[in-house]
Amino acid sequence: MLLISAEEIRAQTDAANSLINKVQKLYEALPETRCRCERPGQCCIFLPQMTWIEALQWFRHLRALPPGEKDNLVRGFLLFFLTNPARPGHCPFLADDGSCGIYELRPFACRAYGMWSYSCGRQQTEQSREGKKALVAMWRRYGIELPEDVAVHEIDYCDKMIVRGQKSFTDARLMELLSEIYQLDDAQPDLQKRFEDGYQSDFSALMASLVWGPRKANLNKYAVIKDIVQKDSDVRLKKLLARVTAPF
């Protein structure tokens, strides 16, 4: 499988302005929301799922940042990649006060979280639970016993989001909108396929592959998880992150 290179990302973030504008336009169909839970940001402990064009939005944002800020965020993504699912983490854009550091460009998954019906939300949790169990079994085959409370941790269904206006915004309408956003990826089918098949649409996995190459990224992850689980050591993790600079 052909991987995605830093050169392609540079070229596409420059060329994809109109696609990114279209995503933004589709987001406008969502109603305004307000969070009223006691711990804002509690739902940001994982990276959001995203389409390829939504990933390009993030790359374009990162590329425009001053070098120091950009490097710090790249390290945040690598920290997530290397330690998940052995240690609790969070999206690198989550600020200390629980706010989102990329609010205008947060993906559909973040925008719609808390808008799905209870039954739909539970169904999504069930699906992700099965995926997490499979992950625990995979690491066990590598001789590593992940801490179950972290590896299969779930976020509670959110019923604390206030949706203003359009009360009739249904699961069906959310799916329709998600599908329209997903269809924008059709403009770059090759990159979309590589993002989905090669990185499971995981922004942190793509970032790690850009920094270290895919094989080394996975071997680094294996070594860091082993250190954490078997020695409770961060030495290698710190060394790896200290040397990193943004690859684009």
Which residues are near ligand SF4 by CB under 6 A? Answer: 35, 37, 40-44, 48, 91, 93-94, 100, 102, 106, 110, 113-114, 158, 160-161
Using DSSP, state whether 94 is helix, strand or coil.
strand
Measured from the CB atom, the residue of 158 and 223 that comes closer to ligand SF4 is 158
Residue pair 101/93 in contact by the 8 Å Cβ criterion: yes
Q: How far apart are CA 6 and CA 54, in angstroms?
A: 17
Q: How far apart are CA 127 and CA 82, in angstroms?
A: 23
Measured from the CB atom, the residue of 54 and 185 that comes closer to ligand SF4 is 54
Measured from the CB atom, the residue of 100 and 120 that comes closer to ligand SF4 is 100
Measured from the CB atom, the residue of 102 and 146 that comes closer to ligand SF4 is 102
Q: How far apart are CA 151 and CA 64, in angstroms?
A: 34
Task: Tell me which DSSP letter residue 184 carries.
Answer: G
Measured from the CB atom, the residue of 35 and 150 that comes closer to ligand SF4 is 35
Q: How far is the CB of 244 from ligand SF4 (least distance, A)?
A: 20
Length of the chain: 248
Measured from the CB atom, the residue of 100 and 223 that comes closer to ligand SF4 is 100
- For 22-82, give the DSSP string: HHHHHHTTSPPEEE--SSTTTT-SSPPP--HHHHHHHHHHHHTS-HHHHHHHHHHHHHHHH
Q: How far is the CB of 96 from ligand SF4 (least distance, A)?
A: 12
Q: How far is the CB of 43 from ligand SF4 (least distance, A)?
A: 3
Q: How far is the CB of 101 from ligand SF4 (least distance, A)?
A: 6
Q: How far is the CB of 159 from ligand SF4 (least distance, A)?
A: 8
Strands (E), 182-221: none
At residue 175, what are phi and psi to the nearest 5 degrees?
Answer: -65, -40
Q: How far is the CB of 115 from ligand SF4 (least distance, A)?
A: 9
